[in-house]
Amino acid sequence: MSGDIKRGTAEMTAAMLISGTIGWFVVMSGQPVSGVVFWRCLFGALTLLVICGALGLLRPGILTLRAFAIAVLGGIAIVVNWLLLFASYSHATISIATTVYNTQPFMLLALGALFLGEKITAAKLFWLTLAFAGMMAIVQAKPGGSGDTFESYGLGILMALGAAFFYALAALAAKWLKGTPPHLIALIQVATGMLMLAPMTDFSQPPQDAGSWAILVSIGVVHTGLMYVLLYGAIQRLPTHLTGALSFLYPIAAILVDRLAFGHALQPMQIAGAAIILLAAAGMNLGWTPRWLRPRALQG
């Protein structure tokens, strides 16, 4: 294994494990969702500002006005994605919300076909259908907690699906920004979120203790700034199939954190649905083609 592959694997693993713990930090912050996202954007922006400055990405001429506008639109989408995802935790648990959120490759598939003219192959359609079956299994499952209601559970699933859709919109914007430094895109995104959420953030009731502030700073610095650096570093070093494979550490880590920290165990139908969705997403990300869908010349 080459040095780049080793380093990229370590960076991607760290990035996904960090992402898998964010649900715990969001819940333990005790802040309203809009407040959590605002502080994430603020501390993330400060971190990325330093990183972009160190990389020489703040000099004039790097970004065109068109690229800046697309980055801002992507920032709006990514912030709405965070708002919906974090809000879904209190309705459908971190495990279920994160698993449903991993339908994002299929959202991007549809958007790519609609706006970029990308072809939807028979294999992709198969994985999409399989993911839908997994989604139906999760929807039909009963909520795990005694205080939960099916309506609240369903709302959480819808929020996670909405989060996946807006993430796909942000990813689509990133496709249009190919060649633009990714750390600069991330800085514009979190700065956009900070301006979006400032009017609706209650500054009269900030966190009251050092522990709460430490959680919010971690979400901004570690889960945003550091995670972006690790993720983009890994993407630059790893082949696409390895990046896609390692990305599944994120939902696995989230499920383990949810179980260990909050005691949320998945029901049998939820486990089956989650496994089907993750299998479908793996097939989609890694470009698997079921044997019966391959051209005859390639079989055997």
Mapped onto helix, strand or coil, the DSSP state of residue 32 is: coil
Choose among 101, 163, 153, 111: nearest CA to 131: 101
Q: State the pLDDT confidence band at 297, using cuts at 50, 70 and 90.
A: very low
CA distance 103 to 97: 11
Output the pTM of the full model: 0.88
DSSP letter, residue 226: I
**Measured distance CA(235)–CA(231) in Å, rounded:** 6
CA 247 to chain centre: 10
DSSP, collapsed to helix, strand or coil, labels residue 6 as helix
Q: Is 299 helix (H, G, I), strand (E, B) or coil?
A: coil
Helix 3-20 crosses helix 22-29 at what angle (to 10 degrees)?
30
Contact present, 250 and 164 (Cβ < 8 Å): no
CA distance 210 to 96: 31
- For the stretch 99-149, pLDDT in tens is 999 888 888 888 888 887 878 888 888 998 999 999 888 988 766 554 457
In the chain, domain spans: 3-201+210-290
Tokens 């995670």 correspond to: 227
For range 249-272, the mean pLDDT:
91
Q: What is the DSSP letter of 208?
A: -
Q: What is the pLDDT of residues 31-60, one digit of tens each?
A: 999 999 999 999 999 999 999 999 999 988
Q: Is a pLDDT exceeding 90 seen at residue 244? A: no
